[in-house]
Structure 1
Amino acid sequence: MGKKKEMILYLVFGGLTTLINIIVYAGLESGLGVDYKLATTVAWIAAVVFAFITNKLFVFESKDTSARTSTREFILFIFFRILSLGVDLGTMILLIEVMSQDSLLSKIVANVIVVLFNYFASKYLIFAEKKEEVRA
């Protein structure tokens, strides 16, 4: 797949992931009266599962659908999403507390960094095609 098409699909499905996160959160918190912390957690899980499936099948087109490979990819996906939370928080702390930047501007900058981090982690570490070993 072309790099441009891959990046467009990544951004489209990222937007849909965000929409799922917001809809699930709103449905639980506003619609059902669930505590915002639990609603946030459930919405995050739903969004991450959706993002994993769409990234695996449509964006990076991972060919190996065996249980072993899919489990490895899913664990790595979760690991890097949690790591990206640290990148997000670290960037926010650096920009707001250390550099005295505006909160909203800091969040925008942090989100750009996180999107790039997640894209490269997915492309080169999680869904990277394995090179077949050359036997002499």
Structure 2
Amino acid sequence: MMKQIGYKYEFFLPFIAAVLFFFTRKVPLPEVIYTVFAILIAIWYFPLRLVLGDFLKKGDSKSSFVTISASIVSVLIAAISVVLLHHAESFVFKTTFQLLSILNVFLIYYFHFTNREARLFFSHLGFLFLTSVVFVG
């Protein structure tokens, strides 16, 4: 039951993170709220989603590789957004974040044109929204 609810609504998480990041930057919202939320997103996208899901049981190595790398990109975007919240002037983290954002755009195209899983497409679209808020904010 929890697995179905998590998969059904997981694409909302990056959008909520983007709103929290924006409010943390623009209004006096404590940074701890966004930090905890981003850490929970990172935990959900890499270990929990792969353990609870049947991604690795399908036997298709290409699909498993894409799913694992998409999960890692999601985790890194969430983690680096926390670092950029606290240290906005870090050149290394900004550059890494921009490269991950470009990789995320390619994953959006991949999930849209070749893969049949729409929830992964919308999830990465949410992370694209999060990266744009981090760049502008």
TM-score after normalising by structure 1: 0.31
Bigger Rg, structure 1 or 2: 1
TM-score after normalising by structure 2: 0.31
Q: Which has the higher contact order (CA 8 A, sep 6+)?
A: 2
